[in-house]
Structure 1
């Protein structure tokens, strides 16, 4: 029985991560293309992945991306009030990390390293570091 439980664990983690990510995508009003790009999936895969019965597996990179995006969302919700918390990621930003682009666009273009940099940036703002 324990082996069966361990083999279900990654599927459960994937399902929880995808459910949380889908809620964030809705909260930020991301397009299909933006949501798929941020998660490093094709648009057709993202369409399938956001359904509750999705049985596919996420790569380690995809799971790390989703985890970091969840952290970004949490930081924004704690640091900013509405509606800025929901719009910050999709608004142009003059900060050195973004160069006038939207954090979303830099995250899609820069992949996991940039997503993690955005999360670290927000954690530093929130923590006062």
Structure 2
């Protein structure tokens, strides 16, 4: 899996263009693992349905450069994916975790994907922080 810079807003347009293909390929692999609908994918990336379709069509090649915020969102999603797979080393269990209701305060009984599907960057950040804390608290 690729690593995205920690401050995507500082990237030049050329750097964003170079990262777009690998970032989208990584995102779509995670979306497939989590069985995300196209609507859920669009919400997680903060894109309109039309923009999502354009990016999906160009996922293997010449997609238009992603905005810095979209790259930031993919970075959070990649971090969430990595943390889940650290906590739950079975890929099936890790991927299923996204759809199961969760009693942790950050989820309030909803599934992680429900929390993330609100479409806000703050929700991605909150879930990533929660998982970071869980990884660090694990023996």
Calculate the TM-score normalised by the size of structure 2. Answer: 0.80
Moved over 2 A (4+): 6-9
Aligned residues, how many? 124
- Is 1:103–2:119 an aligned residue pair? no
Give the match for residue 73 of structure 2.
65
User: Is the CA contact 1:48–1:54 (under 8 Å) kept in the aligned structure 2?
Assistant: no
More helix by share: 1
Match of 2:96 among 77, 87, 93: 87
Gaps of 5+ in 1: 1-5
Name the CA distance, whole Å, in 1 between partners of 2:120 and 2:97.
Answer: 18
Computed over aligned residues only, the root mean square deviation of the Cα atoms, in angstroms, reads: 1.8
- Is 1:19–2:25 an aligned residue pair? yes
Moved more, 94-103 or 7-16: 7-16
| Helix, strand or coil at the partner of 2:120 | helix
Calculate the TM-score normalised by the size of structure 1. Answer: 0.86
Gaps of 5+ in 2: 1-11
Shift in Å, 1:77: 0.9
